[in-house]
Amino acid sequence: MVKLNMVEAINLALREEMERDDRIVILGEDVGREGGVFRVTDGLQARFGDERVVDTPLAEAGIVGTAMGMALYGLRPIAEIQFDGFLYPCLDQITNHIGRIRNRSRGRFTCPLVIRVPYGGGIHAPEHHSESPEAILAHTPGIKVVIPATPNEAKGLLLSSIRDPDPVIFLEPKRIYRAIREEVQEGDFTIPIGKARLVQEGRGVTIIAWGAVVREVLNAVEELKGNKIDMEIIDLRTISPMDVDAIITSIRKTGRAVVVHEAPKTCGLGAEIIALINEKAFLSLQAPIERVTGFDIPVPLLKSEHYYLPNPQRIVAAVKKVMSF
C-alpha cells in the first residue's frame, strides 16, 4: 500500500486503467503537456502519447460533445472540464444527448464515458471556480454522478466509473485534492457505484454528506467529543443513483438526521434526501431533519468565502438542535 493524496490516486487510477484498456482517451484543456491545471493527468501524455491524452481547443461543449461521439464508436473517453463553473455550457450536450442516447435509440447506441470535474469551493479561487452543481446533474436523467471523499475512494470509484456502461460525471472535490493523504489500494480494485460508505457507526443521529464536507463533518465530530452524541456518518459517494437503503436503514436506527452540502440550500440534494426519508421512514423520525448548506447566492469571492462554506461550527449547531428536539 502507498500513501497518496487524491490527485495522485486519480492519476494512478487513470494510468493503470489506460495500461489495461487501450480504448481510453483523455481529452480536455491543458490535460496534455501541462498535465492538467491540478496535475491530475501529469505524465500521462508522455506515457501514452498525444493521441490518447489530448489537449483540445478551449471549448467545453466541444469536449463533451466529441467525447460522446468517441463513446458511440467504441472508445472510452474521459473528458476533463477544468473547473465546475465551466461545466455549464456542457449541459446542452449532457442533458439533451449524453443522458438520452441509450433511451432514445432503444439501447442501440450507448455512451459510456466519464466527465471529470474538479468542483466546489474553499481554495480561494477566482469567480466561477467554486461551484457545486451536483443537484443539477443528479436531476438529469440518464447520467450517474459520483463524488469521492478520500484518495482511496477516488481510485476505486473512478475505475468503476470508467468501466460503467453508462455516462458518469465524476466530481472531484478540489478542496481536498491535496489535504488528505492515505493508503490507497494498489492494482485493480473497484468500489461499486450506487453504494454509500458508512464512515462511522452510531445510534444517536445520522449525518449524511459527500465530497469535501465529509471532512468538515469529521471535524465537527471531533468538536463534539465529550458531548456523548452517538453519531453515524454516511458518505453517499454516488448521488445518482443514490443509496436510499443505506439512508433509510440508518434513519430507522437513529431517528434523527443532518444533511450537509456545500451547494445552495434551495433544491439542493438535501431536499431530495429529506423527501426520501419522509416517504420511506417518516414514522422513525424523532426530530425534524436539519440541513447545513451553502446559501442561495453565487459563491462569494475569497474575502467572503468563509461566510458561505458549511463549517464544523454550523454542523455542530445543527446536530445539537436535532438532538435537543
- 15, 62, 229, 276: which one contacts another protein (CB under 8 A)? 62
Question: Which one, 29 or 235, has the nearer CB to another protein?
Answer: 29
Question: Which one, 45 or 240, has the nearer CB to another protein?
Answer: 45
Question: Do the Cβ atoms of 202 and 228 come closer than 8 Å?
Answer: no
Check binding of 302 to another protein (CB under 8 A).
yes
Element (H, E) at 290: strand 290-294
Question: Which one, 127 or 186, has the nearer CB to another protein?
Answer: 127
Check binding of 46 to another protein (CB under 8 A).
no
What cell was used for 15? Answer: 494510468
Question: What is residue 308's three-state secondary structure?
Answer: helix
Q: State the Cα–Cα distance between residues 308 and 300, nearest whole angstrom.
A: 7
- Closest to 114 in 3D by CA, of 152, 159, 151: 159
Check binding of 303 to another protein (CB under 8 A).
yes
Question: Which one, 37 or 248, has the nearer CB to another protein?
Answer: 37
- 14, 213, 308, 323: which one contacts another protein (CB under 8 A)? 308
Q: Which among 124, 128, 129, 261 is annotated as catalytic?
A: 129
Check binding of 59 to another protein (CB under 8 A).
yes
Check binding of 35 to another protein (CB under 8 A).
yes
End-to-end CA distance of the chain: give it in Å, rounded: 45
Check binding of 29 to another protein (CB under 8 A).
yes
Check binding of 33 to another protein (CB under 8 A).
yes
Q: State the Cα–Cα distance between residues 257 and 276, nearest whole angstrom.
A: 12
Check binding of 89 to another protein (CB under 8 A).
yes
Query: Which residues within the stretch 247-266 sit at the binding site for another protein (CB under 8 A)?
Result: 265-266
> Is 129 a known active-site residue?
yes
Sign of CA dihedral 210, 135, 6, 124: negative
Query: Can you give the three-state secondary structure of 32-86, one letter per residue?
Result: CCCCCCCCCCCCHHHHHCCCCEEECCCCHHHHHHHHHHHHHCCCEEEEECCCHHH
Q: Which residues pair with 291 in a beta bridge?
A: 259
Check binding of 268 to another protein (CB under 8 A).
no
Question: Which one, 183 or 296, has the nearer CB to another protein?
Answer: 296
What cell was used for 253? Answer: 436506527
- Footprint of another protein (CB under 8 A): 29-30, 32-35, 37, 55-59, 61-62, 85-86, 88-89, 124-129, 265-266, 295-298, 300-305, 307-308, 313-314, 317
Active site residue ranges: 129
